[in-house]
Amino acid sequence: MEISKIRFAVFASGNGTNAENIFTHIGDNPKSEVCCLVTDNQDAFVVTRAKNHGINYHIVEKSSGDNKIKHEKNIVKILDTYKPDWILLAGYMRILSPFFLEKFSGKKGQSRVINIHPSMLPKFKGMDAYRQAYDANVDTSGVTVHFVDSGIDTGSQIMQESFPRYRNDTFDDFKSRGMNIEYTLYRKVIDQITGQSVRERCDGYH
């Protein structure tokens, strides 16, 4: 009997280095697959990355007349055709509404949407977290992978890893150290999902 693969949809808005890391890592695992990329930005380089990996992609921009729910309904319509088990946010720069999160939650309301945030949450929530941490002269910063709830970077944490900021670091040194942590951390979380320990915390689709 063929066991169905765990299906991941990836959401990204920009360059997409995290998305690329996910495409490669999931592509190496016969138990899982990236079913599609969703982006809200037609100019995002992540679209080129998806094309290069042969991954289905959907550009769903928010037009000026659309409110958040209308935009999210357009995304849900697409996802309904893929039925992803999990949604991985990888530099997706929109806050998802309770409407969307409710659609992608388990029977007991657990989130099936996961985000990576470039700080040691709860520190430095929101935009430009590397810049916030660097400008605050921290000795250590970090990266957090967490379930998404309707707050801004407030959902329960899955995994966190710190990294040092050295005295002579330029902003680019600091950020590139953090980005490398992002890639390894997301890979570890995906391995947990495909190997169950996170999956068991969520008991099936709505």
List residues near ligand GAR by CB under 6 A. 12, 14-18, 90-91, 116-118, 129, 182
Q: How far is the CB of 56 from ligand GAR (least distance, A)?
A: 19
Nearer to ligand GAR, 14 or 106 (CB): 14
117 classed as catalytic: yes
Is-cis flag, bond preceding 122, omega within 30?
Answer: yes
Among residues 25, 58, 71, 117, which one is catalytic?
117
Phi, psi for residue 124 in degrees, rounded to 5: 55, 60
Q: How far is CA 147 from CA 72, 88, 90, 152, 191, in A?
A: 18, 10, 13, 11, 16
Q: Which candidate, 18, 82, 84, places its Cα nearest to that of 46?
A: 18
Nearer to ligand GAR, 106 or 150 (CB): 150
By the 8 A CB rule, do 15 and 91 touch? yes
Q: How far is the CB of 115 from ligand GAR (least distance, A)?
A: 6
The residue whose Cβ lies closest to ligand GAR is 91
Active site residues: 117
